[in-house]
Amino acid sequence: MLASIRAGLFILLLVTASVIDVRRHIVPYSLCLLILLVGLLRFDPAGLWGVLAALPLLAACVMTGGKGLGSGDVVLTAAVGAALGLSRTLIGLWLGLVALLLAYALRKAAYRSRGHALPPGPWPLVPFLSTGFIIAFFI
């Protein structure tokens, strides 16, 4: 029963973060905190190593000055890392980034086929990361 509640809350919070990221291009830290708390419903000290999965995103955020990749993406990944552990968070991160690359390539190809250039603008990362993290949750 607790596992089902935990899964439902985890998915609900990630979907909520995704919708907010698409609409407002931010990730509320309060949602990240709630994801962390949901992860702590099944506390495993070894799972805290999952926070390290956010280090590549942190490095990218620092190198770009927060343009394109914000601190909310980093904090969300760290919170999920504490909830899922290192290996599953890395799997989810990889799946999410691959999904982003595939979506970008498909969208770019669709625009090119119509003779248009892909319009510039930010792409919200959280929906892609959330997809990967949800899949990794069930692995």
- Prediction pTM value: 0.89
pLDDT in tens, 67-120: 778 888 999 999 999 989 999 999 999 999 999 999 999 988 888 888 887 777
What average pLDDT does the segment 28-32 reach? Answer: 94
Is residue 75 within 8 Å of 27, Cβ to Cβ?
yes
**Residue type at 62 in one-letter notation:** V
Query: Residue 26 and residue 17: Cα distance in Å, rounded?
Result: 8
User: H helices within 40-85, ranges in order?
Assistant: 55-64, 71-84
- Burial state string for 54-83 with b = 16 or more CB within 10 A and e = fewer than 16: beebbeebeeeeeeebbebbbbbbbbbbbb
